[in-house]
Structure 1
């Protein structure tokens, strides 16, 4: 990238950080339980978003990317309704995306572009499986039908991000415009800084509602969800930086890894280690894998040095939580997750084809063991298996498997950014063994973004355009950015 391009990126990062801080006021106020403060924070975020959008000439999809990590529970709703600021414009953006992307479904020579119809068919197939899984339980009269409707609606919302990010990013990336990657990278870095700062402030006695005790949770109200977002973003951050500079290493990588460690998520730590090993093995013999191995080795070395050098007050809690799984207290009860997983397996065994019904895990578990079973299975695969059966799990895994295949194929073809994206997706798949992530919006958004990056479609008739600068200079007068906010 030219010096002007690097300057434009630097001019993007600070405003995005300011906007992310304004957005962070929403979950912070919601954590305090005040409806008035939460409403005021949402209003502040809307004003800040308008100012930054005008300054950077952000599209609505780029604003959605910035708002995506802002998750909160509305005051008075308990844990029943988890919202993201990005949800507010998702439906509108999808309507704007469907028709143009469908028309782009054929190249100038008439050759089919399969990805968009495949993703749309995937989303519909998931809905079909979810509703089909409810038929038997409803006819038997023992189903929580409302719970099933909510479960199907949550998956539909999540799939909306899959469709949106693919539809928005694919034409841009085909035209050589990587700005959406830069916006995601800046947002992830800002989110990590917010998490680190909130954790540090908690340590000195100031609780902003952006940490779970000392554990960094950023704008997610959940350290585990925070770590999932960060690890998913790590590959995007490295890919974006490599496209600008030709190098994978950046300060943002350090910031994100530190934030992951401060989240105290044991699932994240295990996922990083296992995903790194698998990525190394899968990319052996490729030129793209050499740089990944170097970066992984340097990062591991820096982690060991940090443990040895930094004071115990800084790393003690992280180390204690990371190793607690291997050194349980005497007489401690076995991990509750094993009981949840056992219940899920029993439910699947009772209905192996279509499961016990979407959204029925908790009601059926309570019938089996009593009202104390009131939590999700903490395993994405077993959750799908129990509720939608073998059919549902196979359908669900189609898109993650496609992403792994495409990133691995790109790495073997010499794409230097592919191993890092493969690593991030593998981190997600490992974390899904101990977390219920089927409704995680960032997961679906990153899957759509990566599919857009490695779309095998031939370039369409769109004319390449020059990326916008922070102040919009250099844009042709016919550019949509000259006419105001555009959808993509």
Structure 2
């Protein structure tokens, strides 16, 4: 009681001196209490904040809500793991069902190779400080990679059921929908391209597509008519946002997402999804052809101008050729690019304003070499594999709700990866959350399968007992 009074007085004094800081401290404290009560809420809150990039413009990057939520999520995951190790399981020996329910260890413990790959990737990025020109860039981006990796490990700690996975998917769809709606209502754009709650149209589109891919299977597998229509509305708004962004990578990712969602569906759901997809494509094409805004976007998409990407990619290839094994160092592509511009028409592009490659594969190759890109995509492939296995296992268990969530995550990751061919976005937090969710989905599916087997075994033992 005394502690609560002192805390309230402290918050009051801080608010009196600096209202913004006081309100932020109160909101952070309230969020921490909510996170402690439900780790799944913490994961969903972090996911929702990945769509609030514009908030950083007001808070500054050091104290952005996303960073604070990520730190709280990681801290609570560490505490949860520590408590799990000390949790007693006495009194359940001999009861296979109770033993199974008591075993709630995080899913990544069953995926040592995946953990080894992500640790290896982060370690390789950090080791690039040994040959990088700018050590500060390596330090800054390594810290971001470490945070992303810890978030990936934290997600399976808290996401432990089908309802948690579906809640995460609905959160992503809601975040994408609200971001796109903000762009429409506030006319948030950059050079005529919608940016929603982001600062870059390509990043905006790259965030909307995974939300669509994850949310659409959830909506169509819902038993509630209201939920199905709400999901369709959200997907339609996100589709409009992607089109308004004029992002080539976003359109490619959207095609990948819709294709994967359709191929992964079954029965009546496939029929419904095919109909809605055809309608969405028709509406999108009509908007591009018949409206002034759509005509501007169509003109940009059909323009052969690469927005400087050709030169950026040429420099990346030259950097790769100079150091094919280990690259030039994490974050050092823009630092050393000025030494690889001979013969390029737009040399000022690198001398005046250093940029990223606008292509994640090329940036990884240029900065971390063949070793770095192999570790990164092997990690992504391992997570996708876990999601695919979760989908298959859920279908064998006839758990269509879990299967829909798992295949939505797989489609979301592949869509996000497709968008990165035209965007340097390997640090996008949403992708790392989805990777962790794939591990969680496989753990949930395995636990349900083991629970069914344990119950069958128990019933068999009971049947075999003498009358």
1:373 positional shift: 5.5
Aligned partner of 2:416 in structure 1 is 428
Normalization by structure 2: what TM-score?
0.71
Distance 1:260 1:401 in 2: 26
Aligned partner of 1:397 in structure 2 is 377
1:395 positional shift: 0.7
Distance 2:26 2:244 in 1: 28
Distance 1:276 1:198 in 2: 23
Distance 2:112 2:24 in 1: 36
Given the alignment of the two structures, is residue 326 of structure 1 paired with residue 302 of structure 2, yes or no?
A: yes
Mean Cα displacement is larger for which, 64-73 or 388-397? Answer: 64-73
> 1:5-54 CA distances to partner (integer Å, 9 max, x unpaired)?
xxxxxxxxxxxxxxxxxxxxxxxxxxxxxxx9986985796599699999
Aligned partner of 1:443 in structure 2 is 431
Q: Does structure 2 conserve the Cα–Cα contact (< 8 Å) formed by 1:196 and 1:262?
A: no
Aligned partner of 1:156 in structure 2 is 146
Distance 2:334 2:241 in 1: 32
Residue of 150, 157, 161 corresponding to 1:167: 157
Distance 1:90 1:136, change over 3 A: same
Residue of 372, 386, 405 corresponding to 1:406: 386
Distance 1:320 1:184, change over 3 A: same
1:293 positional shift: 6.6
State the SS of the aligned residue for 1:245.
coil
Normalization by structure 1: what TM-score?
0.68
Distance 1:95 1:46 in 2: 14
- Root-mean-square deviation (Å): 4.2
Given the alignment of the two structures, is residue 132 of structure 1 paired with residue 127 of structure 2, yes or no?
A: yes
- Greater helix percent: which structure? 2
Distance 2:289 2:131 in 1: 58
Q: Can you give the 5+ residue segments of structure 1 that lack an aligned partner in the other structure?
A: 1-35, 138-142, 203-209, 464-488
State the SS of the aligned residue for 2:236.
helix
Given the alignment of the two structures, is residue 232 of structure 1 paired with residue 210 of structure 2, yes or no?
A: yes
Aligned partner of 2:347 in structure 1 is none
1:145 positional shift: 0.9
Larger radius of gyration: 2
Aligned partner of 1:13 in structure 2 is none
Aligned partner of 1:31 in structure 2 is none
Aligned partner of 1:252 in structure 2 is 234
Given the alignment of the two structures, is residue 364 of structure 1 paired with residue 336 of structure 2, yes or no?
A: yes
Distance 1:117 1:246, change over 3 A: farther
State the SS of the aligned residue for 1:386.
helix
Distance 1:57 1:452 in 2: 13
Q: Does structure 2 conserve the Cα–Cα contact (< 8 Å) formed by 1:134 and 1:356?
A: no
1:268-417 counterparts in 2 under 5 A? 268-277=250-259, 283=263, 288=266, 291-292=269-270, 294-305=272-283, 307-308=285-286, 312=290, 315-328=291-304, 334-369=306-341, 371-372=351-352, 374-411=354-391, 414=395, 416-417=403-404
Mean Cα displacement is larger for which, 317-326 or 373-382? Answer: 317-326
1:365 positional shift: 0.3
Aligned partner of 2:42 in structure 1 is 60
1:126 positional shift: 1.7
Given the alignment of the two structures, is residue 221 of structure 1 paired with residue 199 of structure 2, yes or no?
A: yes
Distance 2:172 2:261 in 1: 25
Q: Can you give the 5+ residue segments of structure 2 that lack an aligned partner in the other structure?
A: 1-17, 90-95, 342-349, 452-467
State the SS of the aligned residue for 2:351.
coil
Distance 2:190 2:203 in 1: 12
Distance 1:350 1:183, change over 3 A: closer
Aligned partner of 2:455 in structure 1 is none
> 1:294-351 CA distances to partner (integer Å, 9 max, x unpaired)?
5145223233145448994xx43234324423234xxxx6541121111111111111
Residue of 220, 226, 243 corresponding to 1:261: 243
1:229 positional shift: 1.8
Given the alignment of the two structures, is residue 70 of structure 1 paired with residue 52 of structure 2, yes or no?
A: yes
1:374 positional shift: 0.4
Q: Does structure 2 conserve the Cα–Cα contact (< 8 Å) formed by 1:90 and 1:161?
A: yes
Mean Cα displacement is larger for which, 412-421 or 249-258? Answer: 412-421
1:84 positional shift: 4.5
Distance 1:184 1:253 in 2: 12
Residue of 181, 198, 202 corresponding to 1:196: 181
1:92 positional shift: 3.5
State the SS of the aligned residue for 2:324.
coil
1:151 positional shift: 1.8
State the SS of the aligned residue for 1:428.
helix
1:379 positional shift: 0.8
1:271 positional shift: 1.8
State the SS of the aligned residue for 1:325.
helix
